[in-house]
Amino acid sequence: MITKQTKPDSVQTKESTNTLSQRLKPYWLFLAVILLNLLLGLFQPSLALSSLKTSRDYLWEMLTFIPPIFILMGLLDVWVPRELVEKHVGPGSGWRGIALAIFVGTAAAGPLYAAFPLAATLWRKGAKVANVMIFLNTWAAIKIPMITVELKYFGPPFALLRLALTLPAVILIGFLIEHYVPHSREMT
């Protein structure tokens, strides 16, 4: 009885400290930056001021283009049907499968690790390893929201040249893995 009563208590306190640190954890960089700015302000007030001014400019800059990008991400996520994709990238899908893997990869939203479960599902359901890897690397390197950001900050020569070089590299990596790296679906 006694152990039963103390156990939930200890679990509860553990959970509450966990949620507190979990809630603060994403802000570690922000808190560190504030601390550094305060320290800088003590010794070099003018430098701290120019640092805050630069940050303010970037904050404004980001707030004006991040909302539409996130809306586009959400829409793409909702409207691109995943079951359809899983059916069309299997062995024998050829260039159509590659094109599809690239298309869905570029239309994706979210970080690369969000792609792992979906790509693994595609693989388990019969997608070619080459297509799975092409899909992953497309998601990683050349998704459309990312290209728009790159175009904005680096300009067309940098962004488009990088795109033109990355696209064949992604396809080549897919085929190199398919042909030279031993793999089996049973691994997952």
Partner 1 sequence: MFNVILFILALLALSLSYVQSPGKTQKALKIAWTSFIRILPMMLGIIGLIGLVLTLLAPATIQAVFNNAQWWSTALAAVLGSLTIMPAFIAFPLAASFLREGAGVMPIAAFVTTLTMVGIVTAPMEISFFGRRLTLWRNILSFFAAIIIAYIMGRVLA
Among 32, 38, 45, 82, binds partner 1 (CB under 8 A): 32
Question: Which listed range, 6-14, 81-89, 95-103, 133-141, lies at the site for partner 1 (CB under 8 A)?
Answer: 133-141
Q: What region, left, alpha or beta, does residue 92 occupy, with left being phi > 0 and alpha being psi -120 to 50 degrees?
A: left
Within a 10 A sphere around the Cβ of 131, how many other Cβ atoms? 29
Of 20 and 31, which CB lies nearer to partner 1 in the complex structure?
A: 31
Measured from the CB of residue 134, what is the shortest distance to partner 1 in angstroms? 11
The SS3 call for residue 44 is coil
Measured CA to CA, the distance from residue 9 to residue 11 in angstroms comes to 5
Task: Collect all residues with Cβ–Cβ distance below 8 Å to 83 and sequence separation of at least 6.
Answer: none
Of 6 and 18, which CB lies nearer to partner 1 in the complex structure?
A: 18
Per CB under 8 A, 19 contacts partner 1: no
**Residue ranges in 81-100 that form contacts with partner 1 under rule CB under 8 A:** none
Among 6, 12, 14, 30, binds partner 1 (CB under 8 A): 30
| CA–CA distances in Å: residue 92 to residues 10, 143, 174 | 57, 25, 15
Per CB under 8 A, 136 contacts partner 1: yes
State the binding string over 55-74 for partner 1 (x if CB under 8 A, else -).
xx-xx-xx-xxxxxxxxxxx
